[in-house]
Amino acid sequence: MIKVLIVDDSAIIRKTLTEQLSKYQDIKIIGTAIDPYFAREKIVEEKPDVIILDLEMPRMDGLSFLSKLMKYYPIPVIVFSSLTNGMNETAIKALELGAVDVLGKNASYSANEETTRKLVRMIRNAANVRFDKKIEFREPEKINVEKNITFSTTHKVIAIGASTGGTIAIEKVITKLPPSIPGIVIVQHMPEGFTASFAKRLNDISKIEVKEAKDGDLIVSGLALIAPGNHHMIVERSGGNYVVRIKDGPPEHFQRPAVDPLFRSVAKNVGKNAVGVLLTGMGADGAKGLLEMKNAGAMTIVQDEKSSIVFGMPKEAIKLGAACEIVSLDKIGNRLIEIFQKEVVS
């Protein structure tokens, strides 16, 4: 049984969620709380496996509570709030603070079956997340100076894949990279609408340019392209250049975008001129694709267990023998710089 605590100031929402989620045999609502102060008592008493958290509450807002919770008593949290409708900056901030997932809530939510099913999937996924470390969020410094980047086509490509915990992990990698770094393509498991906000935030705090990818975008040095939510992204060769193609297609590993389609395309079309990086995430997406990249001659890097919020995807890649190197998150950015510095020298 997955023990769930609901934290929401609306009595109607608490009652409806309890009734709807209790219909599932593997979910047990162990309590509800009107605000973070009552929630704190329930957490100590009941030790829930997963928390469903609203953001608009009296006495303490949900983001402040989430930050304190992840710092002192980390538990898998699903943010369910009207403030995260449209997958906006608030949703991105919740993920960066350590939320496992985010779902927008209509103010009039009343036993909406589709929303309930999404919550159930999120609860089941969140129950598998184990926080072996406390998460202390520090607001990254915004790059206020004008970026001095001379874009040029590149024969090298860096491909990055991530899922749960990936917003934090990608930020830590990308913000270390200089404008001279080869072109980067990124898949982060995110719904439609998330990725534009995520890309904008990364662009604000990075030395390189970061944008949500569009079909036909050139892969150039100093630019990171993030796959748009609800679409796969692959890399193709166009003359002497590499471009991204945005595709529909069926989900893989229940995800769209998925990491495997990107990695497979990079293995096929870039081969030994690529570097693959697989970061924290639940499940096995990216593991087989990373192995294809390694077999095609690419350098492959996998985040280590200690620094991963969820070690699922990296672990599966290691089991397959897909990792050339297993590296702590804090060192991956510098490792990428080292790889390409050596190539420039040689």
CATH number at 307 reads 3.40.50.180
Distance CA 208, CA 219 (A): 13
Check whether residue 165 and residue 276 sit in a common domain. yes
Is 189 a known active-site residue? yes
Dihedral of CA 292/295/299/300: which sign? positive
3-class SS string, 144-210: CCCCCCCCCECCCEEEEEECCCHHHHHHHHHCCCCCCCCEEEEEECCCCCHHHHHHHHHHHHCCCEE
Tokens representing 94? 């919740």
Model confidence at 346: pLDDT above 50: no
Instruction: Catalytic residue, from 67, 163, 206, 307: name it.
Output: 163
Q: What is the pLDDT of residue 197?
A: 87
Check whether residue 286 and residue 175 sit in a common domain. yes
DSSP string, 273-310: GEEEEE-S-SSSTTHHHHHHHHHTT-EEEEE-TTT-SS
Check whether residue 199 and residue 337 sit in a common domain. yes
Check whether residue 203 and residue 297 sit in a common domain. yes
Per-residue pLDDT reduced to its tens digit, 307-331 = 998 889 999 999 999 999 999 999 9
Q: Please state, rounded to an integer, the average pLDDT across all residues of the chain.
A: 89
Find the domain containing 258 and state its range.
Answer: 157-345
Question: Exposed/middle/buried for 336, CB within 10 Å: 0-12, 13-18, 19+?
Answer: buried
Per-residue pLDDT reduced to its tens digit, 6-34 = 999 999 999 999 999 999 999 999 999 99
Helix pair angle (89-97, 194-205), 10° resolution: 70
Asked, for residue 25, whether it belongs to a domain, the answer is yes
Residues 6+ apart with CB under 8 A from 114: none
Q: How many CB atoms lie within 10 A of CB 187?
A: 30
Instruction: Catalytic residue, from 35, 49, 54, 189: name it.
Output: 189
Asked, for residue 131, whether it belongs to a domain, the answer is no
Boundary-marking domain end, from 76, 105, 126: 126
Q: What is the pLDDT of residue 279?
A: 98
Model confidence at 345: pLDDT above 60: no
Q: How many CB atoms lie within 10 A of CB 145?
A: 6
Q: What is the pLDDT of residue 105?
A: 83
Is 285 a known active-site residue? yes
SS3 92: helix
SS3 237: strand
Asked, for residue 69, whether it belongs to a domain, the answer is yes
Check whether residue 11 and residue 121 sit in a common domain. yes
Check whether residue 229 and residue 336 sit in a common domain. yes
Boundary-marking domain end, from 82, 109, 126: 126
Give mean pLDDT, residues 180-195: 91
Q: What is the pLDDT of residue 148?
A: 64
Tell me the backbone φ, ψ of residue 23, rounded to 5 degrees. Answer: -70, -15
* Residue with the two structure tokens 């995110």: 190
Per-residue pLDDT reduced to its tens digit, 45-94 = 999 999 999 998 888 899 999 999 998 888 999 999 887 766 578 888 88
More confident residue, 161 or 138: 161
Q: What is the pLDDT of residue 344?
A: 42
More confident residue, 12 or 109: 12
Instruction: Catalytic residue, from 49, 101, 260, 285: name it.
Output: 285
Check whether residue 229 and residue 187 sit in a common domain. yes
Q: What is the pLDDT of residue 226?
A: 98
Model confidence at 143: pLDDT above 90: no
Is 82 a known active-site residue? no
Asked, for residue 148, whether it belongs to a domain, the answer is no
Lowest mean pLDDT, pick from 48-57, 134-143, 205-214, 265-274: 134-143
Check whether residue 115 and residue 161 sit in a common domain. no
Asked, for residue 146, whether it belongs to a domain, the answer is no
